[in-house]
């Protein structure tokens, strides 16, 4: 899946997207939602997943999601759980 296509689809679910970067054979793509929240878009294999950067450089990864509705729901939960992310992003 191309990150730009995913970003447009998430926008239709009311998720504000800051940036989208397609991956390559060495690195997965990502759709940036906020400073601490992004969607990892695997180049090979699995479905996209929400990733939240926590304190001390740790990451919390949601399970891969095969539907946009589930992915948007995970993003809303991630943004609700991270106050700094909510300040730098918005839900429409």
Please give the residue range of the domain that contains residue 52: 1-62
Q: Is residue 78 one of the residues assigned to a domain?
A: no
Is residue 40 in some structural domain? Answer: yes
pLDDT at residue number 83: 57
Q: What is the pLDDT along the chain (92 residues), one digit of tens a residue?
A: 689 999 999 999 999 999 999 999 999 999 999 999 999 999 888 899 999 998 888 899 999 999 999 999 999 999 987 655 444 444 44
Biggest CA pair distance of the chain: 34
Q: Are 1 and 64 in contact (CB under 8 A)?
A: no
Quote the pTM value. Answer: 0.84
Predicted pLDDT of residue 70? 96
Give phi and psi for 91, each to the nearest 5.
Answer: -110, 135
Could you please report the per-residue DSSP string of 14-50? TB---EEE---SSS-EEEEEETTEEEEE-SSSSPPEE
Query: Nearest Cα to 25, choosing from 4, 1, 43?
Result: 43
Flag whether 30 is in a domain.
Answer: yes
Residue 8 inside a domain? The answer is: yes
Asked if residue 42 is part of any domain, the answer here is yes
Question: Looking at the 3D structure of the chain, how many domains does it have?
Answer: 1
């Amino acid at each position: 899946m191309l990150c730009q296509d995913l970003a447009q689809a998430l926008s239709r679910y009311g998720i504000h997207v800051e940036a989208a970067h397609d991956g390559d054979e060495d690195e997965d793509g990502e759709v940036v939602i906020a400073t601490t929240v992004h969607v990892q878009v695997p180049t090979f294999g699995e479905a996209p997943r929400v990733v939240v950067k926590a304190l001390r450089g740790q990451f919390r990864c949601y399970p891969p999601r095969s539907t946009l509705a589930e992915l948007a729901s995970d993003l809303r939960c991630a943004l609700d759980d991270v106050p700094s992310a909510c300040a730098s992003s918005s839900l429409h």
